[in-house]
Amino acid sequence: MNHKLMEILYTAHQKLKDARVEESRLEAEILAAHVLKCERHDLYLKDNLVMNIHEENIFFNMLERRCAGEPIQYIIGSKEFMGLLFEVDDRVLIPRCDTEILVETALELLPSDREVFIADIGTGSGAIAVSIAYYMPNAQVFAIDIDEGALCVAKKNANIHGVNDRIQFLKGNMFEPFNIEHKSKFDAILSNPPYIPTNDIDTLSVQVRDHEPQIALDGGKDGLLFYRRMVSEAHTFIREKGFIGFEVGYNQASHVCNMLQNMGVYTCVYCVKDLSGIDRVVVART
């Protein structure tokens, strides 16, 4: 490893540690590799790798932002989700690996031998819509978001992954952009809505609270506002043998299951756990 680069990494590591960034060494390496447009292991393997003064300025500027609490994904402009790289900025929630459970569940339940129609309500970065379209060439996806900025990011991600011809982006509040033509159309309605109770937002880490969009987090007084609204309408857009898949927050699964069961139109309602054993996805089948 280049001696000067090692010093730079060391300084960055210390600064991040002082700023209480948990994975300080790793994040120093991620930023350095991003600036040098190389892989992280190249930092150690390529002796001739140097950071010129221009790159050094960019690096320390990014480091400053990270130390001030900005999420590293916004700084480097991307986050991996379902094995695909998504562009992200502060107009969208950073895709979480919990949401991969929702996508994997949907991929398992959807038939692959005919055209299928899927709606992603509150698409944000397009993580759900784009990855479903990418892994299911037979899928036609409708991605809805109330926020113009989010739709802009989602469209970019659809282009990057070559699925823009199979995703329709619609602006509006939940099912608002749908009309009579969309009744009983969908094989699946998926959503990872904002689900943090309003009063809990203050208790989140600075990283989330001060940088990720409030509109993507705030689920109303009890965090269940968007589930309530979606559950009351969703069944009219689902076809026979279709399903709803919702990601839910901690302790919310039983409430959302009850809401769905009370509709009396689903044959089966169940939960899927995440890797830490918490009910993370609720499925309701027609």
Q: How far apart are CA 197 and CA 285, in angstroms?
A: 27
Please give the DSSP secondary-structure letter assigned to residue 40: T
Which residue type sits at 188? A
Comparing CB distances to ligand GLN, the nearer of 242 and 249 is 249
Shortest Å distance, C-beta 58 to ligand GLN: 28
Provide the H-helix boundaries in the chain: 3-18, 24-35, 42-45, 53-67, 72-76, 98-109, 127-135, 148-160, 206-209, 225-234, 253-262
Comparing CB distances to ligand GLN, the nearer of 24 and 191 is 191
Instruction: Give φ, ψ of 190 to 5 degrees.
Output: -115, 145
Shortest Å distance, C-beta 193 to ligand GLN: 6
Shortest Å distance, C-beta 109 to ligand GLN: 18
Shortest Å distance, C-beta 38 to ligand GLN: 28
Comparing CB distances to ligand GLN, the nearer of 29 and 247 is 247
- Give me the residues that bind ligand GLN (CB under 6 A), please: 93, 95, 99, 122-125, 127-128, 192-194, 216
Comparing CB distances to ligand GLN, the nearer of 122 and 245 is 122
Comparing CB distances to ligand GLN, the nearer of 75 and 154 is 154
Beta bridge partners of 269: 284
Shortest Å distance, C-beta 78 to ligand GLN: 14
Q: How far apart are CA 153 and CA 283, in angstroms?
A: 27
Distance from the first to the final alpha carbon of the chain: 59
By beta carbon distance, the residue nearest ligand GLN is: 124
Comparing CB distances to ligand GLN, the nearer of 194 and 223 is 194
Shortest Å distance, C-beta 93 to ligand GLN: 4
Closest residue by Cα to residue 251 from 216, 227, 284, 215: 227
Comparing CB distances to ligand GLN, the nearer of 128 and 256 is 128
One DSSP character per residue, 175-200 reads TTT--GGGTT-EEEEEE----B-GGG
Beta carbons of 187 and 142 less than 8 angstroms apart: no
Comparing CB distances to ligand GLN, the nearer of 124 and 245 is 124
Instruction: Give φ, ψ of 62 to 5 degrees.
Output: -65, -40
Beta carbons of 125 and 92 less than 8 angstroms apart: yes
Shortest Å distance, C-beta 100 to ligand GLN: 10
Which residue type sits at 2? N
Which residue type sits at 258? N
Shortest Å distance, C-beta 128 to ligand GLN: 5
